[in-house]
Amino acid sequence: MQNLETHPKSRRPVHQLEIERPDRMEEACGVFAVQALEQPVANLVYFGLYALQHRGQESAGIAVFNDGKVRLHKDMGLVSQVFDQDVLERMPGALAVGHNRYSTTGSSKVCNAQPVVLMTRLGPFALAHNGNLVNAAELRAQVDDGEVEFTSTTDSELIAYAVQQAVDGGLDWTEGIKAAASQCQGAFSLVIGTSDALYGLRDGYGIRPLVYGYLGDQDRGHWVLSSETCGLDIIGSPFVADVEPGELVVFRCGDPTPERHRWIEPTTRICVFEMIYFARPDSRFFGESLYSYRQRIGQILARESAVEADLVIGVPDSGIPAAIGYSQS
């Protein structure tokens, strides 16, 4: 557990971990965040990450805001291995950001676990990222001003430093996040927490999903961000909308109306693997359950490539709905 406090003008990371050169990208991670007035939310984020466990099994982390400070706990392993009730009870706070990590190349170490927490002139923020950048080397050169000490090999940390530098350069949170996003190329669905607001942002292609819902009465302004709708379902949060491609949505504590900003003109190109593999079958995309979608894929395949068989087997488990659809046709 880390109780994170730094001088507001410090550009150094709030925790010191092993420093190594960038050698890894990450893609199908899970991000989750909750904001609720005067209500501990660490347990809710835990359950949200648990529902999103399929999106990342290497590491898990939660950053909780309380009285202007951030408490961060992250480690290697599954959500249930990283957190227990004792840890969660020592993380009070009404706003929290969580992350499950799945990586595709390079080493798997705790220094790469998220969320990333940094300090700015406006206070601390926590960032969780699902996706990977194609211009990580260029972004690293842009943010490395000689004072930055990188503590991970992730492109997520580069995005966090871009946000920090934009805010420390005089922008407010909303404009600073938009400015940082404009430096990024590739796939990035971001959840960012500050002491008084949550921010959800998707790249202009919408490659990775991001949705939001609310807790209790929507008029209370208690908000939830999740990579998939299954994360909302597990804590009883009604789905409101997708964070659209090229959109930044701002959720201020107690405000029942989110602020929606178009930060870049969108060209939707969602990753096909989300629909057929990454996402949980009980999640919903474009208003349809993925189970039904995958089942229809199997039915179409049967019409196009029918074979005589006694048994249809789905491999891996994500192929079971398609196998059922194939067998039914």
Identify the three-state secondary structure at position 178: helix
Q: Name the pTM for this structure.
A: 0.90
Alpha helices, DSSP H, located in the chain: 42-51, 79-82, 85-89, 136-143, 155-168, 173-182, 229-234, 272-273, 290-304, 320-328
Reply yes or no on whether 111 is catalytic.
no
CB atoms < 10 A from the CB of 52, how many? 29
What whole-number distance in Å separates Cα of residue 305 and Cα of residue 326? 10
Low-confidence residues in the chain, pLDDT < 50: 5-26, 105-106
DSSP string, 267-316: -----HHIIIIIS-TTSEETTEEHHHHHHHHHHHHHHHS----S----SS
Q: Calculate the CA dihedral of residues 80, 85, 89, 92 and round it to 10 degrees.
A: 30
In the chain, list all ranges with CATH 3.60.20.10.
2-262
What whole-number distance in Å separates Cα of residue 329 and Cα of residue 326? 5
* pLDDT-above-70 percentage for the chain: 91
Task: Write the DSSP symbol of residue 182.
Answer: H
**Catalytic residue of the set 29, 230, 253, 271:** 29
> φ and ψ at 233, to 5 degrees?
-60, -40
Computed over its alpha carbons, how large is the radius of gyration of the chain? 20
- pLDDT tens digit string along 275-304? 999 999 999 998 899 999 999 999 999 999
Query: Torsion-angle region of residue 178: left (phi > 0), alpha (psi -120 to 50) or beta?
Result: alpha
Nearest C-alpha neighbor of 15 from the set 23, 6, 7, 24: 6
What whole-number distance in Å separates Cα of residue 281 and Cα of residue 35? 26
- pLDDT tens digit string along 126-149? 999 999 999 999 999 999 988 898
CATH number listed for the domain at residues 2-262: 3.60.20.10
Nearest C-alpha neighbor of 227 from the set 208, 251, 241, 245: 208
Place of tokens 């499950």: 100
Q: Are 251 and 198 in contact (CB under 8 A)?
A: yes
Hey, which residues does 224 pair with through a beta bridge? 34, 213
